[in-house]
């Protein structure tokens, strides 16, 4: 059963609980770990909580409903969430009416849910990522019947439309266009926790974007584990063009792309709509050795990857590129690793997100031979950044003394001065000063200094 949280029944139940428990307003707090997909899901969770009658809390200490939206991508992410979860044991003692839930990717793993059932009695519910729409039902059982709910293994493969997001930003919006993943990269837990790939109807996506732009949104981020393998009645390049054709002054970003789906058709659309589609591409390489790429089941070679990089740079001058790298994949020899370093020198990415391989239960790589010692992995990681950091800095140098368009995100007072922060169309972080700057607007900034990965400048009229 799916509860309509807007229905009077649910609100009444929470209202009764509120009156019964304390007579004061009940509040919620949501923690988010992991990727943008989770950020977007947390916006949905916040909306569900508000529909139930909860108000937002400033911190978890003052909340009656605490939800951890978790990530399972690496062991470290899981450990962080589990130790945070542990801290609610004492809060629950102080406030027996506290409802704690653990949802998201960790909640799709049997061993974790078993552990929570047995050892974390103060956790009222868990919900796997594709079952978040059932959170209100679980909260309700906890509040009214003090019952625990564990929603796992129930993913129907359908997309539940119509859950609105309580958007955190007025000018930037995340729009999920597809869910799940079919690629089964051998190291990755995502296909297991998020299920099979499924794409939303293009008409639903386009009308959502239209609505957002009409409401003043300046940046739309199209989200999916594999955005560019989006496929419904139309494919991703067509979807991108249709969104780009919407009237209005806004920019479109998308992530994450898989090299296998990065076609000339897609790059041509980016070129055609260069005013609307950001000249930025996150293209995860993962490894520079063909042998390791094949063990990872990435289905492209370093040669093909380099071709894509060249095509992007030829067709979209000034484009910035970022990538993901995993060091210490099982069987990665020193020679393989040197090939990754070599690819970084060849491709010269603007930014690299690099991770030490983390073995995930149930994945193919976990069962492979040749697991690498942590000391070797961390040594490789620091050697990687020794190569990449100067490249990232050098990639920023051409911005010096140039004028860039920046979407203003935030402002803070520093030493009596108001410093604004925003991003260029190429996704570079810019800190700048200026008069009459408004958050959520595009502004022109003259870059006067490069500070590591960031640009420093002054707003110009
Ligand atoms: N769908 C995206 C993002 C996946 S998760 C993609 O295909 O790129 C983000 C990044 O985490 C991955 O690109 C990969 O570099 C890293 N990652 C995934 N599984 C990992 C693991 N088991 N150990 C270390 N890093 C991992
Ligand atoms: Fe994981 Fe690969 Fe799917 Fe990305 S494409 S989510 S790395 S399995
Ligand atoms: Fe983590 Fe799940 Fe995203 S595992 S990276 S939160 S899809």
Q: Report the C-alpha gap between 248 and 226 in whole angstroms.
A: 27
What confidence score (pLDDT) does residue 243 get? 98
Q: Report the C-alpha gap between 240 and 236 in whole angstroms.
A: 6
Positions of the chain with pLDDT under 70: 1-23
Measured from the Cα of 37, ligand 3's closest atom is 3
Element (H, E) at 315: helix 302-315
Spacing, Cα 376 to ligand 3 middle (Å): 26
The fold adopted by the segment(s) 400-460 is OB fold (Dihydrolipoamide Acetyltransferase, E2P) (2.40.50)
Q: Select from 193, 225, 324, 351 the residue to mutate for testing ligand 1; criterion: most ligand atoms less than 8 Å from CB.
A: 324
Spacing, Cα 332 to ligand 2 middle (Å): 19
Q: Are 283 and 329 in contact (CB under 8 A)?
A: no
136 lines ligand 2 (CB under 6 A): no
What confidence score (pLDDT) does residue 454 get? 96
Q: Report the C-alpha gap between 324 and 33 in whole angstroms.
A: 18
Q: Are 243 and 270 in contact (CB under 8 A)?
A: no
Q: Is 2-151 a domain of CATH 3.40.50.12160?
A: yes
Q: Report the C-alpha gap between 234 and 135 in whole angstroms.
A: 32
What confidence score (pLDDT) does residue 22 get? 60
Measured from the Cα of 353, ligand 1's closest atom is 15
Q: What angle do CA 143, 105, 174 make, to 5 degrees?
A: 90
- 68 forms beta bridges with 31, 102
- The structural domains of the chain, with segments of one domain joined by +, span 2-151, 169-278, 281-399, 400-460
- 3-class SS at 351? strand
Ligand nearest to the CA of 106: 3
Q: Are 302 and 290 in contact (CB under 8 A)?
A: yes
Q: Report the C-alpha gap between 319 and 308 in whole angstroms.
A: 13
What confidence score (pLDDT) does residue 404 get? 98
What confidence score (pLDDT) does residue 444 get? 97
Q: Residue 273 has which token pair?
A: 């709509």
State how beta strands 454-460 and 429-433 pair. parallel
Check for a shared fold between 281-399 and 400-460: no
User: In degrees rounded to 5, what are phi and psi of residue 13?
Assistant: -60, -45
Closest Cα to atom 24, ligand 1: which residue?
357
Measured from the Cα of 105, ligand 3's closest atom is 2
State how beta strands 403-414 and 417-424 pair. antiparallel
What confidence score (pLDDT) does residue 168 get? 85
Domain 169-278 CATH (choose: 3.20.20.10, 1.20.810.10, 3.20.20.140, 3.30.750.210)? 3.30.750.210
What class is the 281-399 domain? alpha beta
């Amino acid at each position: 059963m799916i509860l309509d949280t807007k229905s009077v029944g649910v609100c009444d139940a929470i209202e009764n609980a509120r009156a019964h428990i304390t007579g004061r307003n009940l509040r919620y707090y949501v923690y988010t770990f992991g990727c943008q997909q989770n950020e977007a899901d947390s916006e949905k969770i916040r909306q569900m909580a508000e529909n139930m009658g909860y108000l937002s809390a400033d911190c978890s200490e003052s909340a009656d409903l605490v939800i951890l939206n978790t990530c399972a991508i690496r062991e470290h992410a899981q450990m962080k969430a589990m130790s945070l979860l542990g801290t609610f044991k004492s809060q629950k003692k102080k406030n027996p009416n506290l409802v704690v839930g653990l949802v998201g990717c960790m909640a799709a793993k049997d061993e974790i849910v078993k552990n929570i059932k047995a050892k974390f009695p103060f956790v009222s519910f868990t919900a796997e990522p594709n079952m978040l729409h059932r959170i209100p039902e679980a909260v309700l059982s906890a509040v009214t019947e003090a019952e625990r709910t564990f929603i796992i293994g129930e993913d129907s493969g359908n997309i539940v439309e119509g859950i609105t997001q309580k958007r955190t930003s007025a000018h930037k919006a995340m729009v999920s266009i597809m869910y799940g993943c079919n690629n089964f990269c051998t190291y990755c837990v995502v296909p297991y926790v998020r299920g099979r790939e499924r794409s939303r109807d293009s008409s639903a996506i386009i009308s959502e974007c239209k609505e957002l732009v009409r409401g003043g949104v300046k940046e739309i981020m199209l989200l999916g584990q594999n955005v560019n393998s989006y496929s419904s009645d139309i494919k991703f390049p067509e979807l991108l063009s249709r969104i780009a054709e919407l009237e209005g002054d806004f920019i479109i970003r998308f992530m994450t792309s898989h090299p296998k789906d990065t076609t000339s058709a897609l790059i041509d659309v980016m070129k055609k709509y260069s005013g609307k589609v950001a000249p930025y591409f996150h293209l995860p390489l993962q490894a520079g050795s063909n042998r390791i790429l094949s063990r990872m089941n990435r289905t492209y070679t370093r040669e093909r990857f380099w071709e894509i990089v060249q095509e992007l740079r030829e067709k979209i001058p000034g484009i910035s590129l970022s990538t993901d790298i995993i060091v210490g994949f099982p069987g990665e020899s020193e020679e393989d690793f040197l090939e990754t370093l070599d690819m970084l020198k060849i491709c010269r990415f603007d930014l690299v997100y690099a991770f030490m391989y983390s073995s995930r239960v149930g994945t193919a790589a976990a069962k492979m031979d040749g697991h690498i010692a942590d000391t070797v992995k961390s040594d490789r990681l620091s050697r990687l950044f020794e190569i990449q950091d100067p490249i990232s800095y050098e990639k920023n140098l051409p911005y010096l003394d140039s004028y860039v368009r920046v979407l203003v995100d935030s402002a803070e007072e520093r030493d009596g001065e108001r410093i604004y922060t925003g991003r260029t169309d190429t996704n570079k972080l810019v800190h700048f000063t200026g008069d009459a700057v408004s958050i959520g607007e595009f502004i022109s900034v003259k870059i006067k200094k490069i500070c590591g990965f960031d640009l420093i400048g002054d707003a110009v009229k």
